[in-house]
Amino acid sequence: MSLNVKPSASTDTSRPLLPVALGTALVLVTYVTPMATIPATAADLGAGPAERAWILSSMSLGLAAALLASGVLGDNLGRRRVYVAGSVAMALGAAACVVAQEPITFIAARVVEGVGGAAVLACGLAVLAHRFPPGPERIHATSVWAASVGLGIAAGAVLAAALDIGTGWREAYAVTAVLGLALVLPSLRRMAESAVAVRGKIDVLGLGLLVAATTLAVSALTQGRSGIDALTMVLAVLSLVSFVAFVLVERRVGQPLLDPELLRHPRFRAATGGSLFLGAGMIGMSAFVPTIAQVGLGRSLWIATLPVLAWAGVSVTTSMLVRKIPHPLEGPRPVAVLLAFVAGGQLLGYGLQADSSVWRLVLPMVVTGIGTGVLNAVLGREAIASVPPASAGMGSGANQTARYLGAACGITLFVTVATHAGDTIIDGWNAAVLVTAALTLVGAAAIAMTGRGATHA
């Protein structure tokens, strides 16, 4: 595949940073909304425990299934075209959530939101890689992009609390539907179209197998929250079979969807592994914070959002400050160190008691927010720096796939441990904190060991 893209960055005068940052933030707003509104949503739709799990995981399903595919399609068909289509899909999915009257319709609409969000995330970062060359410009752009991730999480928490009126949840989806459509025009105006100069043949078989593997994996994780049953096992086995078939196909096709040679690249492994373990460890923990604050500590929705706001606010600040760090923060070592730092912050959440103040949750979220913010910026930059320029969408898609597949695993793991370990949900929280902090440390150690001897080239 040619490494040339069109138009060249040197003649590109587009200004895509603002719409990409806003689009990324909106994806995160959409992603976190059910975490705060699940009690009202489940009650209104008549959702039972299993359906509640699917409500929380349905957007992760769409994201995990479509992220890499969106990146590859963007590289070949045009990143702006796929990005805008994702914005429209996200808006339509949100609108369907507003009018849903039963769980199945709502869950399907959330999957559509996830597919649309996948296109926005994968192609948005690829657009920035095309427009801003390596160096200070790209560091600035990826820092803003990373800050928009934290901004979206904070805005989602605030939106859910502020719109706790009427139904207590439909209003939030109506707002995100309007915002998704509102982003289409500025995206068309400020983004230049970019794609590979010579369009390659899309690996349709590999694409189908990857979508099947990730979809079945997230489905198995979601179904397994209520206990391991026959359906969970069938989904897990089918996912494994699909993944093995995907690996075999990718080794034999001329233009693979995900080049196996990239796995030999330490920076690519570190960026992908870092996103996987950040999603599995920290996102899993943060997703449960509103629940433990409301159910375990008896706080209101507004108070329960404070720790998440602290986490997101600090991560926004540190993401923006990354560009001022003199060290380039490239390669596996910084990723491993930052993951270890996040694990230390997670451990500060251990020891929660029923009479604890909500500020007891704020401290670990602030500390982890520091590491998360820097990691978001570093991982975003490494995701596109570790692949050929023409494959920026694929690199971004692979990185985001790892993050949200990790998040699906992490949320499932944290919820399972927190609701089954000990006599109370507080006991479960403390046990889950230890488990996920250990998981983050394992990720840090694995990246440090496999990245030994890596160069920054």
Residue 165 neighbours by CB under 8 Å, 6+ apart: 171
- By the 10 Å C-beta count (0-12 exposed, 13-18 middle, 19+ buried), 429 is classed as buried
Percent of the chain surpassing pLDDT 90 = 33
> Encoding tokens for residue 69?
């595919």
Question: Under a CB-based contact definition with an 8 Å cutoff, are residues 285 and 433 in contact?
Answer: yes
pLDDT at residue 13, rounded to an integer: 64
* CA–CA dist 296, 303 (Å, integer): 13
Backbone phi and psi for residue 196, each to the nearest 5 degrees, phi listed first: -65, 145
Cβ–Cβ under 8 Å, residues 125 and 396: yes
No. of helices (H) and no. of strands (E), the chain: 17, 2
Query: Hey, CA dihedral for 296, 301, 306, 309, is it positive or negative?
Result: positive
Closest C-alpha to 136, from 9, 323, 281: 323
Mean pLDDT is highest, among 7-21, 177-191, 196-210, 321-335, for 177-191
Residue-wise pLDDT for 113-132, tens only, equals 999 999 998 888 888 888 88
3-state secondary structure of 214: helix
Distance, in Å, from the CA atom of 241 to the CA atom of 209, rounded to the nearest integer, reads 9
Which span out of 5-9, 192-196, 226-230, 344-348 was modeled with the highest average pLDDT?
Answer: 344-348
Q: Calculate the dihedral angle through the C-alpha atoms of 284, 287, 288, 292, rounding to the nearest 10 degrees.
A: 150
To 5 degrees, how large is the angle CA 253–CA 259–CA 262? 155
Among 119, 98, 118, 122, CA closest to 109: 98
Q: Which CATH number fits domain 12-202+257-450: 3.30.460.80, 3.30.429.10, 1.20.1250.20, 3.30.70.141?
A: 1.20.1250.20
* Measured distance CA(352)–CA(369) in Å, rounded: 19
Query: Which band of pLDDT confidence, cut at 50, 70 and 90, is reported for residue 196?
Result: low
352 near 240, Cβ under 8 Å? Answer: no
Is the pLDDT confidence value at 3 over 50?
A: no
To the nearest 10 degrees (0 to 180), the angle between helices 284-291 and 306-321 is 150
Q: Compute the distance between CA of residue 311 and CA of residue 309 in angstroms, rounded to an integer.
A: 5
Rounded to 10 degrees, the C-alpha dihedral 351/352/357/362 comes to 80
Q: Which residue has the higher pLDDT, 302 or 59?
A: 59
Phi and psi at residue 243, to the nearest 5°: -70, -45
Count Cα atoms within 13 angstroms, Cβ side, for 416.
Answer: 16
DSSP state of 6: E
Contact predicate 272/399, CB 8 Å:
yes
430 Ramachandran zone, left/alpha/beta (phi>0; psi -120 to 50): alpha
pLDDT band at residue 12, thresholds of 50, 70 and 90?
low
Write the pLDDT tens digit of every residue in 248-281: 887 787 777 676 677 778 888 898 899 999 988 8
Q: What three-state secondary structure class fits 5?
A: strand
**For residues 297 and 354, is the Cβ–Cβ distance under 8 A?**
yes
The answer on pLDDT for 10 being more than 50 is no
The string of DSSP codes covering 133-198 is: -TTHHHHHHHHHHHHHHHHHHHHHHHHHHHT-STTSSHHHHHHHHHHHHHTHHHHHHHPPP-EESS
Q: CA-to-CA distance for 243 and 454, rounded, in angstroms?
A: 28
pLDDT tens-place string over residues 367-421: 999 999 999 888 888 887 777 776 777 777 778 788 888 887 888 788 888 888 8
Q: Where is pLDDT greater, at 313 or 392?
A: 313
Does 443 score more than 80 pLDDT?
Answer: yes
> Residue 348 is encoded by which pair of tokens?
């500060």
pTM: 0.78
Q: For residue 195, list its beta bridge partners.
A: 6
59 Cβ contact list (under 8 Å, min separation 6) = 30, 31, 34, 110, 111, 113, 114, 117
At which residue do the structure tokens 């593997």 appear?
213
Q: With a cut of 80, say whether residue 50 has pLDDT above it.
A: no
Residues 375, 378, 384, CA angle at the centre, nearest 5°? Answer: 135
Q: Which residues contact 215 (CB under 8 A, 6 or more apart)?
A: 61, 64, 65
Report how far residue 393's alpha carbon sits from residue 441's, in angstroms, rounded to the nearest whole number: 29
What is residue 2's predicted lDDT score, i.e. its pLDDT?
Answer: 32
